[in-house]
Amino acid sequence: MSSEVLDRWEQRLEDIFEGRPYDMLDAALTHTVFNFPLDIKPFRDMIEGMRMDTQKCRYHNFQELYLYCYYVAGTVGLMSVPIMGIAPDSRISTQSTYDSALYLGIGNQLTSILRDVGEDAMRGRVYLPQDELAQFGLCDNDVFSRKVTDQWRAFMKKQIKRARFYFNVAEEGASQLDKASRWPVWSSLLIYRNILDAIEDNDYDNLTKRAYVKRAKKLLMLPLAYTRSLSTHNLMSQ
C-alpha cells in the first residue's frame, strides 16, 4: 500500500471525526463516532502501523516489535472498549480496562507473528526481535532455511512465554467489560492462546507448518469462554 493511499485514508479519518463522511462506509463510522466516546488517536496510530509495514521488515529488539504490535493490533483493543462498554460494577479502574484491551491486542499480534513465521519468511520478512535471535545463536538465515533446531525451539519457548504473559494480564479487563461484550472477548483470548499450544504440539515447527485451532476445538472452547465471561473476578491463568 502506497504512502499516498495512507495519506488519503488519514485525511478521510479526520473528515469522519469532523462529521464529513466521503461515502457510505465512512458514514457508518461517522455514526459510530457520534454515538460512542471514541478517540481518534488509535485510528491514526493504526494507519501509522500500516506505514511502518511499508518501510520496515526487521525489528532490532522487542521494544521496536512492541510498538509495531501496538500500532496494528493494540489499537483495535483501544477502539473497541468504548463500544463494548465497561461493567457498572467493574472492580478495576477504567484505565486498567483499557490497558487490558491493549495487552490482548499485543498478545494476539505476537501470536499471529509466531504462527506466520514461515509464511512471512517466504516474503522476506522477519517479525522477530533480532537481538533475541542472536542470543540463541540464530539469525535471519536460520529463519529462511526453515530448519527447526534445538536453538530454534529454545528461542520459540521464550517468545511463547511472552505472548502468554500478555494474555494473562489481559484477563482482568476481559472480565470487567459490559456483560454482553465479555463472551466474544474471552473467546478470542482462549482461541489465540490455543494457537500457542498448537505451535508447541508441532514441536515448535512454525517454519514449515502453520499452527491452527481446529473448528471442533474452537466450538468446544465456546462454553469455557462463556463461563469465564460470567465472572467479574480476575481468573489469571497459572
- Specify the DSSP element, H or E, that contains 215: helix 215-229
Calpha distance 73→104 (Å, rounded): 9
Which pLDDT score is estimated for 237? 43
Other beta carbons within 10 Å of 92? 17
Which pLDDT score is estimated for 75? 98
Residue 222 pLDDT more than 60? yes
Residue 162 pLDDT more than 90? yes
Q: What is the mean pLDDT of residues 198-211?
A: 96
> In this predicted model, what pLDDT tens digit does every residue of 35-49 receive, in sequence order?
999 999 999 999 999
> In this predicted model, what pLDDT tens digit does every residue of 98-139 receive, in sequence order?
999 999 999 999 999 999 999 999 999 999 999 999 999 999
Which CATH architecture is the domain 56-229 placed in? Orthogonal Bundle (1.10)
The residues spanned by each domain of the chain are: 56-229
Question: What is the pTM (predicted TM-score) of this model?
Answer: 0.91
Q: What is the mean pLDDT of residues 83-92?
A: 92
